[in-house]
Each structure stands twice: as structure tokens, then as C-alpha cells.
Amino acid sequence: MPSSRALAAAACLAGALLAGCASHAPAPHGAVRGPDASGQEWLQSDVNRMATLAMQANLDSLYRLMDKLYQRNPRQWRSAGHTNRAQAMAGVEGVQNFV
């Protein structure tokens, strides 16, 4: 039969191993930063904020598509009376404020 001293040493060793597994070591990974929120977004719920961010991403991709299409077909922005592509895009982006 093991001695009480051996049992005490085994219990201390088991306790030390369990304590090592239970501690939360800080991970030195970088902090993740998202886009800064505007004052209006602080008042939104999480669902509304996600919908707003998704809509903004969708609009950004549509503006990139508009730019590519205007590059391929300058006749379209000329027929609207614009002198260059940047002016035509500024006119379309100005409509966003009224929607």
C-alpha cells in the first residue's frame, strides 16, 4: 500500500496539472477592429446595423459596376448631357441622399 507521503505528492501533482489546464492564458494576437460607427448607428439595434452595413456594401458594389459600365460605354453618360464619366457618376451618387 502506498505511503501517505506518496499519496500527498500524487494529489499535489494532480492539482497542479488541473490548475494549469484551468487557467486562461492571454493570447498575444492582435485586436480585431471593425469600421468605426457613426452616431446614428449607436442608436440602432444589432439587426438594423447589420442591415445598414449590408446595404452600404451592396451600394458600393453597384457604384463599382456603374463605373465599369460607364468606362465600356461612354455614349450612355454623354447622352445624359454629362461631359465626363466622373460628372455622370457624381450625378447618380447625389440621388442616394434622397432615397
Give the C-alpha separation, 7 to 32, whole Å: 47
Q: What cell does 63 get?
A: 457604384
Question: What tens-digit pLDDT sequence spans the chain (99 residues)?
Answer: 567 776 677 776 676 666 665 656 565 566 656 666 666 666 677 888 888 889 989 988 998 998 898 899 889 888 888 888 888 888 877 665 544
Nearest Cα to Cα of residue 92 among 65, 52, 54, 53 = 65
Residue 37 falls within a domain, yes or no? Answer: no
In the chain, the number of structural domains is 1
Give the C-alpha separation, 93 to 32, whole Å: 31
Alpha helix (H) residue ranges in 23-98: 39-42, 46-72, 74-79, 85-95
Residue 67 falls within a domain, yes or no? Answer: yes
Residue 71 falls within a domain, yes or no? Answer: yes
Tell me, what's the pLDDT at 65? Answer: 92
Tell me, what's the pLDDT at 99? Answer: 42
pTM of full prediction above 0.75: no
Residue 25 falls within a domain, yes or no? Answer: no
- Structural domain including 81 reads 43-99
Nearest Cα to Cα of residue 61 among 69, 73, 72 = 69
